[in-house]
Amino acid sequence: MSKNPRNYLGTKQSLRKFIDDGARVRQYFLRGHGNWFALMFSLINFTLIFYNLLFVNLFFIPEYLKSFSVFFIIFGIIYFPIAVVVGWLDFKKGTYKAEQQLTRNISPIWKEVFSKLDHLEKQNQNVLNSLKTLETSEDR
């Protein structure tokens, strides 16, 4: 029984293409689901729960304002700007910088990237110092 190398390579290439296409579809699904649908459905779920458990039961809200569409409009007008401000505050003054620093220190990939960047920075400093010394020696 002899092996046909051409058939083996064709099978290997087909399998590699199948795996690559599957990984690409998986990545597209995760981005679409995680970034868009999960966010959309969680916001809808949150507003429905908030509406049914709290808003409907508040005695000081008139009955004509207790429709879900009115609540959804009021919720959108209030919630989205507050969420943007809180996100901005977290990004600028909150834990975002500490999280990025922690990721830099823990992740092996980022450790390597930043160690190489630090090495390049040292090399650049050495080159700049050499140029300065050459410049000062030429001025004399």
Indicate the SS3 state at residue 56: coil
pLDDT at 140 over 70: no
Indicate the SS3 state at residue 83: helix
The model's pLDDT over 94-122, given as tens digits with 9 standing for 90+, comes to 888 888 888 888 888 888 888 888 889 99
Q: How many helices (H) and strands (E) does the chain have?
A: 5, 0
139 domain residue, yes or no: yes
The model's pTM: 0.54
19 domain residue, yes or no: no
Provide the CB-side half-sphere exposure for 11 (13 A, CA).
6
CA dist list (Å): 43 to 49, 65, 117:
10, 21, 41
87 domain residue, yes or no: no
What pLDDT was estimated at residue 129? 87
Distance of CA 74 to the CA centre of its chain: 29
What pLDDT was estimated at residue 19? 92
- Name, in order, each residue with C-beta under 8 angstroms of 61's C-beta and a sequence gap of 6 or more: 55
Question: What is the domain extent for residue 139?
Answer: 98-140
27 domain residue, yes or no: no
39 domain residue, yes or no: no
The model's pLDDT over 3-52, given as tens digits with 9 standing for 90+, comes to 666 677 778 888 889 999 999 999 999 888 887 888 889 989 999 998 98
31 domain residue, yes or no: no
33 domain residue, yes or no: no
Q: What tokens does 118 get? A: 């630090």
Query: What does the CA dihedral 35, 39, 41, 46 come to, rounded to 10 degrees?
Result: 170
What pLDDT was estimated at residue 5? 61
* Contact (Cβ atoms closer than 8 angstroms) between residue 56 and residue 66: yes
- What gap in Å lies between CA 133 and CA 15, rounded to an integer? 59
Domain count, the chain: 1
136 domain residue, yes or no: yes
Mean pLDDT of the chain: 86
Q: What tokens does 46 get? A: 């949150």
Q: How many residues does the chain have?
A: 140
Distance of CA 68 to the CA centre of its chain: 32
140: enclosing H helix or E strand:
none
What pLDDT was estimated at residue 131? 85
